[in-house]
Amino acid sequence: MSVSSQQMSEKTVATSRRESNAVPQSDHELVQQWLSAFNEALQAQSPARVAALLAPEGHWRDVLAFTWTITPLQGAQDIAALIVAKQGNTKAHGFAIAQGHAPPRRMQRVGIHVIEAIFQFETGVGRGMGVVRLPVEAPSQAIQLLTTLHELTGFEEQIEERRPTGNYRNFGGANWKEQRQAAQEYSDHEPTVLVVGGGQAGLSLAATLGRIGVDTLIVDRLERVGDCWRKRYHALTLHNDTRYNHLPYMPFPPSWPIYLPKDMVADWFEAYAWAMEINFWTGTELVSGKYDESTGRWDAVVRNTNGTERTLHPKHLVFANGLVGFPQIPDLPGLKDFAGDVMHTTEFTSGANWRGKKALVIGTGTSGHDVAQDLHASGCATTIVQRGSTMVLSIDPSAKLPYATWQGVLLEDGDLLSMTNTAPMLKRSLQAVTARMMDLDKKMIEGLIARGFKFDSGEDGAGHHWKVRQRYGGYYLDAGCSQLLIDGEVGLLQYDRIERFVQTGALLKDGTIEPADLIVLATGFVPQEAVVAKLLGEETAKKVGPVWGFDSDGEMSNMWKRTAQEGLWFVGGSFFNCRTYSRYVAMQIKAIEEGILAPDSKPRA
């Protein structure tokens, strides 16, 4: 090769190297490039330019930022049309990769290789956080987009460097304890928000409202804070990983076990209410409520266990009493003729008193299995009666699979990432996870089916998390009872074999009797709307409609957002649900109270 030819060849190689180094962009650059283009398209209020940045089949989920509610949407054109229509009021700008959060990274989501990033932005009323997922093969068009309003400008949480100074060095006046006592008595003022129920939902919301200066009172009919867990059956332990079950602001101690016993949870709730300075009336229940349109307040009658009543006048009434209502006591043929004891799982505490006896547990959800296992361990001959098919999965490893979203990132980052899916994307994700669960638990599932257990993997194979969203039941996280069933240690009886119940047990259709001294009804609960009808009236219940379960848009019906009844809210669900959505409910209430948002569900211009 000649010198000139060699020089030309080296120059070509060098040029090629420079070009190859210039063309590939880092994930950080690709994300920021997309965010900048998205920001410019919004400032131009151009639906065409916004649509061009979204995959044609793309998904958007907005939580308050643009729509002041929880809004899912699919399809680039529809998303662009709505987001641009809202931009005039929203004034979203300053989209950039979020500082102090997980950096952009490559992941596989619902079978698609994506660059996933958490971003921040500003609006006319606050600061937002979001998630964008760009397909690796086409990073110029987002397949998923989440936008959330994270905080209201001027009404940020009073934590860390913004924590209140307090007025406790009050010589000659009330100290902290006396101020707290006066605040909780409500002798000279009304709560802005009345929360019914003091479990994880009520505590999370009250704590969050308190941090942004909204006066909140919790009422709970039980005697102590935490009794909603403390008074449940003796052996109850959470099935969910402690690392992802934290309440807002106060994580569980890092030394605590992976699965928390009920009494640890209960005592923590009591400490949490004290530490977060939550106003909490125990032994007090809501007995009726009526919304006064003229004053914009509720006439809420609460009753103490001593029989005394008081009418409170909050602007907002929040049901945080669980996603379901009273225990469901089915009218089973002949059950009234049974001479033994009948109780719902809510009344069951321990199997210790039933040693040497026989029991039938009707229902194959988690509570039914746990009660049956406790009875068996106490020496009671126990048979589970199955009424409908049930999904069963192992606590470890299968039930741990959905927590992969939180692995390697901060808890709050995992929360954001987990909120990104619209219902169609969520279902696809759950189908993939469930297929993996079925493979991991294949031996157990086959053993159960061989015993005659009716098993299912949820609608379209979407598993137990989909069941949770549909009806908050229909599954069992196996704590050991499945092997007892497979081995015949715990009996299994299909309900369709029962003719009716008789004095000594269950009369089967073949004429034999399944003897029992005890029947435990693991039959679930009535819907929340039945509680609404009882306490607020049939008219209000009909006006609001179903609570929980999928709405027409794929979101949870009437959860964490304004309802058709002004001033009425519903919160609940898992620790994740309560921790995450308490922020958004609190911000909606604060925005209404500060005049940022009209109380009739329409944002002010």
Q: What is the pLDDT of residues 429-482, one digit of tens each?
A: 999 999 999 999 999 999 999 999 999 999 999 999 999 999 889 999 999 999
Which pLDDT does position 476 carry in this prediction? 97
Amino acid identity, residue 500?
R
pLDDT higher than threshold 60 for residue 220: yes
Of 52, 110, 39, 118, nearest to 80 (Cα)?
52
Structural contact between residues 32 and 96, judged by C-beta atoms closer than 8 angstroms: yes
33: left (phi over 0), alpha (psi -120 to 50) or beta: alpha
Collapsing DSSP states into helix, strand and coil, what is residue 32?
helix
Q: How confident is the model at residue 23 (pLDDT cuts 50, 70, 90)?
A: low
How much is the pTM? 0.93
Is there a contact between 184 and 274 (Cβ–Cβ < 8 Å)? Answer: no
CATH numeric code, 27-152: 3.10.450.50
Angstrom distance (rounded) from CA 45 to CA 50 = 8
Fold exhibited by the domain 169-325+528-593: FAD/NAD(P)-binding domain (3.50.50)
User: Is pLDDT of 557 > 50?
Assistant: yes
Residue 603 pLDDT > 60: no
pLDDT at 598: 87
Residue 269, pLDDT above cutoff 50: yes
Is the model's pLDDT at 399 over the cut of 70?
A: yes
**pLDDT reading at 19 higher than 50:** no
Domain residue spans in the chain? 27-152, 169-325+528-593, 329-523
Given the structure tokens 């009304």, which residue do they identify? 190
202 is written with which tokens?
């009520």
Locate 328 and state its tokens.
């469901």
pLDDT of residue 600: 66
Whole-number pLDDT of residue 326: 83
Sheet strand arrangement including 505-508: 498-502, 505-508, 513-515
Does the structure show a pLDDT above 70 at 10?
A: no
The pLDDT of residue 1 is 39
Q: Which of the residue ranges 315-324, 434-443, 572-581 would you say has the lowest mean pLDDT?
A: 315-324
Read off the pLDDT of each residue in 81-105 and give the average, rounded to a whole number: 97
Task: Report how far residue 221's alpha carbon sits from residue 197's, in angstroms, rounded to the nearest whole number.
Answer: 8
Domains 27-152 and 329-523 share a fold: no
Helices marked H in 441-501 — which ranges?
442-450, 463-471, 481-486
Residue 355 reports pLDDT greater than 50: yes
Q: How do residues 134-175 score in pLDDT, each as one tens digit? A: 999 999 999 999 999 999 999 999 999 999 888 888 898 999
Q: Under 8 Å CB-to-CB from 399, ≥6 apart: which residues?
A: 239, 240, 393, 477
Q: Collect all residues with Cβ–Cβ distance below 8 Å to 354 and sequence separation of at least 6.
A: 375, 378, 379, 380, 517, 518
| Domain 329-523: which CATH number of 3.40.50.20, 2.60.40.10, 2.40.10.10, 3.50.50.60 | 3.50.50.60
